[in-house]
Amino acid sequence: MDNTLQQIVLNWIPSQSKVIDFGCGDGVLLKMLSEQKSITGYGVENDPDKINACIINGVSVIQQDIDAGIHNYKGMGFDVAVMASSIQCLRKPRDAMKNILKVANECVITLPNFGNWELRLGILNGKMPSSAQLPAKWYETKNLHLCTITDFEELCCEESFVIKKQVYLNRKGKSSWLANRLPNLFAAQAVYLIG
C-alpha cells in the first residue's frame, strides 16, 4: 500500500479503535495504525509468507481463507474493517461486503478501477490489460471479479451500502483533480469508507 493511500486510511480510522484487516498482507498497515493511532488490530491472511511477515512485524494475524471466514468475526466488537485491494479476489464480493458490515460498524475498501483509460486502451488493443495496480497476467491473476468505479458504486446503491467518504487516486497513487473529476476514466484506484 503506498503512502497516500496509507495516509487516507490512517486519517479515517479513529484512535483506540478495534480494527480487522481482511487480506492484511505483510501487516504493515496494522503495524502503522497500532503505532500511530493505538488501535487493537488483527489481520486475516492465508499466504504463509505474508503470515510470517506479519509475525515479524509483530502484528496479530489469523490464518484463514477470507472467502470462508468473514462471518466468523461477527460480534467481536470491531469498529472498523479494512479490505485493501482484495475484494475483487473473493468468490462472492457482494456477500463479503454484506458480511463485513455485520463484522464492523464501518469498512474501508480500496479497489483497483478496471474502467481506467489505460486499461480500456489495453482492451481496445485486443489484449487483457495490465497496470501498476493490476500487474499479473490473465493466467496467474488472483482477481476473479474486477469492476469499475461505476460498477462498484452502483452495487453500493442497490444494496444500500452508504458511502461515507471516498477518494480517487491516479496512476501515481495521488489524489488528482482529473481523477476526482472523472474517476471512472482517470482514477486507477478508489478508496471508500462505507457504513
Residues in contact with other proteins by CB under 8 A are 18, 40, 42, 48, 51-52, 54-64, 72-73, 76-77
Shortest distance (Å) from residue 91 CB to other proteins = 20
Query: Smaller CB distance to other proteins: residue 62 or 156?
Result: 62
Query: Smaller CB distance to other proteins: residue 69 or 173?
Result: 69
Shortest distance (Å) from residue 76 CB to other proteins = 5
Nearest one of 61, 54, 65 to 28, comparing CA atoms: 54
Shortest distance (Å) from residue 63 CB to other proteins = 5
Query: Smaller CB distance to other proteins: residue 13 or 59?
Result: 59
What does each C-alpha distance from 165 to 11, 79, 108 come to in angstroms?
11, 16, 9
How far is the C-alpha of 164 from the C-alpha of 121, rounded, in Å?
A: 31
Shortest distance (Å) from residue 106 CB to other proteins = 18
Q: Are 94 and 155 in contact (CB under 8 A)?
A: yes
Rounded to the nearest 5°, which phi and psi values hold at 83?
-135, 95
